[in-house]
Amino acid sequence: MLIQIFLVVLLDRITKLFITHTMTVGMSFPVIPGVVSCTYVLNPGAAFGLLEYQRAFFVVITLAAAGAIFLLRDHIRREGPKARLGTGLFLGGALGNLIDRIATGYVIDFVDFHFWPVFNVADIFICLGVGLIVWSMLENESGKKTSPEKKK
């Protein structure tokens, strides 16, 4: 799990450093015209503009989630590879955005599909991580409900 966390944070930092060193806030250029652009945005809240300027709240929530994951690490290990990978991706993404929030009070966003709020690499891994965790939980729960006879 530590490898996933490290790689996600590293990829997130590299992409955000590239954006901050090559663009100015508000600058945008098409990556695939009409589909996706790279738009440099400083986001003071969460997706959809929720909880703007609630820096302390996001810091506390992220640290609480990391603490809960640390306390549940043995349980997560037993849940299987999807849960472990998902947890690492989620935590890496959360820590990537936490670095921004602590350093500046904003999260650097730049992936712009025009019909969705602008987001970043950390957000992608948070969503992938949650998806894998839910998938693992659903698989494990359906396996518990299946009787031994049906598994044969």
pLDDT, tens digit, 9 for 90 and up, residues 83-107 = 999 999 999 999 999 999 999 999 9
pLDDT tens digits, one per residue of 39-70: 999 999 887 778 887 889 999 999 999 999 88
Which pTM was predicted? 0.86
Q: Which residue has the tokens 């929030």?
A: 101
Tell me the catalytic residues: 109, 123
38, 28 Cβ separation under 8 angstroms: yes
pLDDT greater than 70 at residue 152: no
Distance CA 70, CA 89 (A): 14
